[in-house]
Amino acid sequence: MKSYRDVLTINYPGRRGFVNITPEVNRALRESGIKEGLVLVNAMHITASVFINDDERGLHHDYERWLEKLAPPHAPVEQYRHNDTGEDNADAHMKRQIMGREVVVAVTNGRLDFGPWEQIFYGEFDGNRPKRILIKIIGGSKRFV
């Protein structure tokens, strides 16, 4: 069994946004030499997500509006208690739960085993500071094992 680890750092210029990190995951997979196995990609911070969906600008706009509705920046009745601590990001912790912390992707014949439209995104919900994404790959170096 082999394993490989890499960390990406993203300093998103703005509070919220989505970044396609598929090229970086592909690069890490090539460097790993792993041909059959699993890739874990996860946000290392708890107000951010890693998820798989479409690389379509309109959809990302829709996600932004939808998440603002499902997890608004201000609580409907009283202030979020988390924000009593001096934070202002309770909503970011909620958005991250809807979009997810991590993805696990199969590696087959040395490639991400993806359907036609699958792309890996980093979702930032409390940006303007450097945050990290972990890529961990485990598996075997033979094509068929």
Footprint of its own copies (CB under 8 A)? 1-3, 5, 36-38, 40, 42-46, 51-54, 56-59, 61-63, 65-66, 69-71, 75-76, 80-85, 90, 93-94, 96-106, 108, 113-118, 132, 134, 136, 138-140, 145
Nearest to 139 by CA among 25, 21, 40: 40
State the first-to-last Cα distance of the chain, in angstroms, to the nearest integer.
10
Residue closer to its own copies, measured from CB, 15 or 100: 100
Residue 78's identity, in one-letter code, is E
Residue closer to its own copies, measured from CB, 27 or 59: 59
DSSP assigned state of 30: H
Residues 67, 36: Cα–Cα separation, whole Å: 36
Shortest approach of its own copies to residue 141 CB, angstroms?
A: 10
